[in-house]
Amino acid sequence: MKRICVFCGSSPGAKPEYVQAAKQLGNALVDKNIGLVYGGGSLGLMGVIGNAVLEQGGEVIGVIPRDLAEKKVALTKLPDLRIVDSMHQRKAMMAELAGAFIALPGGLGTIEEFFEAVTWTQLGVHKKPCGLLNVGQFFDKLIDFLDYVVEQQFIKVEHRSMILVDKSPETLLKKIKGFQPPNVDKAAWALSLANNESKHPMQTKPPRTLP
Ligand code: AMP
C-alpha cells in the first residue's frame, strides 16, 4: 500500500486526544513508509496530520478545491498541493491516489467523504479498505447506528463488516493490510429482497382518514 487517504475534521474537536490521534496516525504512516493523501487543509486535525507527516519527512499529497484554497485554509507549504476545480474532482483524485481510507474524528465533511469511499467499496467501484480510527470512543454512536441499519435490513451484514474499526493507528493499519473485500453484490441483494417482497407483500395499514 503506497498511500492512505485520511479524512478528518477541519476543527480540532473538543478533546485533546483527537489532536494526539492525528499526530500518532501521521507518525504511524511515516513509520510504515505509507504516504498521506488528504484534503490539503491547514486547520484543525487536517493541519495536524499534514504537518506531522511533513515534519517526519513522509510523503504528503494535499488535494483542495480552488475556492477553499482562496479562503486561505490550504497548507501552502506542502510540496505537493493539488488545486482542483470542485469537491467532486477532489474526492475522485484522492480516491485514485490512495489504496485505503481512514476517518479520524470530524464533522459533516469527514462523514460524507468516508461514507462515499465505503459506498464505492460496497458497489465494487473499488475494493479499497475503509477504517474508522475510533479515538476517545468518538465513533461509538455511529457504529451503533450502522448496526441498527443492518437490523432494519438496509445494509447487509457483510457490507457493515467491511468498515474496519480500531482505536490504535497501528492495529487499524494491520486490519487495513489484511482486508478482503466481501463478495456480496449489493444490487443482487436488493433484487432478491424485491422478489421476495412481491411473493409475500408487506401488510399495509389502510390510509388514516384525516378529520
Ligand atoms: P469537517 O469534518 O466538516 O470539518 O470537514 C473536513 C473534511 O471536509 C476534510 O476531510 C476536507 O476534505 C473537507 N474540508 C472541510 N473544511 C475544510 C477546510 N477548511 N479546508 C480544507 N478542507 C476542508
Ligand 1: centre distance to CA 90 (Å): 11
pLDDT at 172: 98
Helices 108-123 and 186-199 pack at an angle, to 10 degrees, of: 80
CATH of domain 3-199: 3.40.50.450
**Residue 68 burial (CB count, 10 A):** 18
Place 211 in a pLDDT band, splitting at 50, 70 and 90: very low
Task: Report which ligand 1 atom has the smallest distance to the Cα of 113.
Answer: 10
For the chain, what percent of residues have pLDDT higher than 90? 86
Say which amino acid occupies 95. A
- Whether residue 144 is predicted with pLDDT greater than 70 in this model: the reply is yes
Please name the residue whose Cα sits nearest to atom 10 of ligand 1: 7
Per-residue pLDDT of 50-68, as tens digits, reads: 999 999 999 999 999 999 9
Residues near ligand 1 with C-beta < 6 Å? 7-11, 39, 41, 43, 46, 64, 68, 73, 106-110, 113
User: In a 3-state reduction of DSSP, which class is residue 101?
Assistant: strand
pLDDT at 203 over 90: no
> Per residue in 89-118, pLDDT tens?
999 999 999 999 999 999 999 999 999 999
Residue 72 has pLDDT above 50, yes or no: yes
Cell, residue 21? 490521534
Distance CA 39, CA 174 (A): 24
DSSP state of 200: S
Cβ count near 99 (within 10 Å)? 18
The pLDDT, as a whole number, for residue 197 is 67
User: How confident is the model at residue 195, as a pLDDT?
Assistant: 85
In the three-class reduction of DSSP (H, G, I as helix; E, B as strand; rest coil), residue 12 is classed as: coil
The string of DSSP codes covering 165-185 is EESSHHHHHHHHHT-------
